Amino acid sequence: MCGIIGYVGRNDALPVLRDGLSNLEYRGYDSAGIALTGNSVDVYKRKGELSALTEVLPESSTSTTGIGHTRWSTHGEPTDANAHPHTDESGDVAVVHNGIIENYDELKAELENCGHEFTSETDTEVVPHLVEEVLASGRDLVDAVSTVADRLEGSFALGVVAAGHEGIVATRRGNPLVLGYADHGTFLASDVPAFVEHTRSVSYPEDGDVIHVSEEGATVYADGETTSRDVVEVDWDAEAAEKGGYEHYMLKEIHEQPTALRQAISGRIDEVKGEVDLDIDLPTEYLNSLQEIQFVACGTSYHAALYAAKLLEEYADVRASAEIASEYEFGGGRDPWRTLVVAVTQSGETADTLSALRRAKRAGARTLAVTNTLGSTVTREVDDTVFIRAGPEIGVAATKTFCSQVATLALLTVYLGRERGTVSSEEARELLSDLRGLPGAVQQVLDREEQVRVAAEEYVDGDAFFFIGRRLGAPVALEGALKLKEISYDHAEGFAAGELKHGPLALVTSETPVLAILTEGSNAEETLNNVKEVESRGAPVLGCPSEEMEDAAKFVDEAFEVPDLGELEPLVANVYFQLFSYYVANLKGRSIDKPRNLAKSVTVE
């Protein structure tokens, strides 16, 4: 992994590919490369940032076909040799690849026994050699890629070019690919931002598809027969994927949260009746028989799921749990017919979440996805999907998608509670009213950005940062700590506040700022006792009290006021944590949009 771009058309391919790679930088990478093709294949690749690749690229090229890649290392260190594209010995076949080929050792040994020599440590390099073998028998590139794909085990998205063969041939299994259709040619990419300035008309290949990309469009083969995939218009444009005057995508996306939240709830709420329309098909009889709702997710999405699980148990009167997808097993005597499994994934391509979902499906459970990405793998594998409608998120550290996930899951809570008859219309109206007020409350926090920036300047040199909260504040504490460690590289931990005295308090000193959630929905009075505990050890406290907890302000060194918003107040407090993390990282000069070792969409397990 991490980013693929391909182009076949009438325009010069070099600038198109170079710009496409730049658009994909947000996914995270440690090396990059481009292959331009025609009668020959010319490959340029370098470890490091795109600036290193630019130094070796030609000033111009007449080639109108090519592929490019930004790599995030899984096999072999970041080196020029390990960068993509990879070629066969003749240099006539070039391949870009996302994912992992699990049987590459076996295939490599077989090829070495036939005289093939390898120059990298990657699993990818076996692919061009295998393609070379098939092409040598006189078969065309589509047949060659199809044959080779059948021999590969694992997950992958492949783009292949070969000298003397028209266009690009691609295939996918468990890793995303998207096709884009412009007047001047056809695009292949791992994500829409790679080419969105050229077109918003896209289609999404399915697992096992083999695609021949040409200037006129794409021919899709499934099981050897031609087929078609629906072309849709993505609902955002190039401007939405640009910084818009902000220094970083992350800061722009923090400020986009009021808009994203309005989009998440728009057209879904009938506040008068206390009802929600999510356009999903969950029979009332089935919902009434439910014994448990299980969320499976990773990282930020897991924290959103934790928040939702607590809301569901309170409002929908059903046992709910959130599990880290990589640790998930469907067991414990659960009845699959009485268990709904909800996959929460921003990209819809997270490998661990998809694997957990498949385990649940094999057990016979009904499945639902909450995602941001139309056409993603998860949407094709679940029984129903709810989109969070946050728009494109470029920064690796999720901000607006977390907020939109929680808002959407709150809508799901009301929907399930009303369908099950466990939430009265009055209770529903109260929560829906809070959801209506969420965009405005977040905007109030954003209007106090300068206060957060000044606080970040004061505490930027802390040895470590602890985030604490209870109940709905606990998952927000986890999320706050994750944001800070992701982009500042500082040690940060989130705790359920009561756990401080069960070990972590030993780490508290005058050099460890504590950020505390003191709002409705977070058992603020009890958390205030924990604030006093850390203050007695000399730790500075930055608190997020709601208006009804105004007395708490006198117990903290810095008070970030949270507007009254009921059970959603911890979610509003999270925006302060996002801003604090951003400014700490910026003061340290970190690569905020592309933090080291991280990728936007984690498509390997």
Which residues are known catalytic residues?
2, 600
d(CA 549, CA 531): 14
Tell me the two tokens of residue 213. 């990309």
User: What is each CA distance from 32 to 29, 57, 70, 167, 192, in whole angstroms?
Assistant: 8, 11, 4, 21, 18
User: What is each CA distance from 447 to 37, 441, 516, in whole angstroms?
Assistant: 51, 10, 20
Phi-psi region of 553 (alpha: psi -120 to 50; beta: other; left: phi over 0): alpha
Tell me the two tokens of residue 475. 């998952």
Closest CA to 48 of 70, 28, 31, 33: 31
Q: What is the DSSP letter of 497?
A: G
| 8 A C-beta contact, residue 396 and residue 599 | yes
Q: What is the DSSP letter of 98?
A: E
DSSP string, 131-163: HHHHHTTT--HHHHHHHHHHH--EEEEEEEEET
Side-chain-side CA neighbours of residue 237 (13 Å): 2
Three-state SS sequence of 363-389: HCCEEEEEECCCCCHHHHHCCEEEECC
| 8 A C-beta contact, residue 99 and residue 174 | yes
Closest CA to 158 of 174, 181, 182: 174
